[in-house]
Amino acid sequence: MKSRVFDVLRAIFFPPRCAGCAVPLETGVLCAACAGSIAIARTLFCGQCDARLFGDKVLCHPEYPYVLGSPTLYANIAVQALVRSLKFGRRRAAAEPLVVLMKEYCSSLGNLFTDALVIPIPLSRRRLRARGFNQAELLARPLAGFLNLPFDASSFVRVRHTKPQTETKSAALRRENLRGCFAVRGRGAVTGRRILLVDDVTTTGTTFLEAARTLKAAGAETIFALAVAKVPVVQ
């Protein structure tokens, strides 16, 4: 009863507004105009150089441990607002339109991820307690259901707390910050598996790289690293 009263009062005094432009909304977290401003890609990308990979195009860097997938660019103001609202505003509903972007993107790629095991990038226990949830898991779990793929949020863990990558400026320091921070629990948990690794944003790709290397060392085969938004690699 108290919860319902609180919800009514919050709706009266704090009506929902678009995360992108702050216009009042009846429902949801993003207005139609902001949602329509988000362009969705239709290709995979090379994890190392960000080159677009169309159809059966040969990988330009085949030895790189993962292939990148991302529906849109982090430069989009609406996308930035959704990600920040989710991660720092703790507005879980902001995950819903981001999942929609990922579903549309994955659908455009056909059956590329067939038989893949969906794994979210894990948070450290300290950051999980502070935030209350893992935003990557809020994105990955419904996506796995949509794609009818198995989901695993327990076998791949972060064993060491690290400072946020945004606070680490150089590429070398970013790599050092994450070195050895991930581990795979359970013998054979990822052995021989195709992995769909999910996170919210990728900038330099350092997090995906360390995660992919850890999963490969544990026996994983092909790894698709999927971020809802990416910052293009500067060549």
What residue ranges define each of the domains in the chain, with the CATH number in brackets? 40-230 (3.40.50)
pLDDT at 174 (0 to 100): 78
pLDDT at 4 (0 to 100): 54
Q: Are 74 and 231 in contact (CB under 8 A)?
A: yes
Band of residue 5 on the pLDDT scale cut at 50, 70, 90: very low
Q: Are 199 and 207 in contact (CB under 8 A)?
A: yes
pLDDT in tens, 26-71: 878 888 898 889 999 999 999 999 999 976 666 889 999 999 999 9
Residue 2 has pLDDT above 50, yes or no: no
- How many C-beta atoms surround the C-beta of residue 152 within 10 A? 17
Which residues are CB-neighbours of 210 under 8 A, at least 6 positions away? 175, 178, 179, 181, 182
Comparison of pLDDT for 195 and 186, the residue scoring more: 195
Comparison of pLDDT for 234 and 30, the residue scoring more: 30
Tell me the pLDDT of the chain averaged across its residues.
Answer: 88
pLDDT in tens, 73-126: 999 999 999 999 999 888 899 999 999 999 999 999 999 999 999 999 999 999
d(CA 147, CA 149): 5
Mean pLDDT score, 135-151? 98
| β-strands 72-73, 182-184 pairing | unpaired
Q: Are 68 and 225 in contact (CB under 8 A)?
A: yes
Phi and psi, residue 224, nearest 5°:
-100, 120
Residue 235 has pLDDT above 60, yes or no: no
pLDDT at 169 (0 to 100): 66
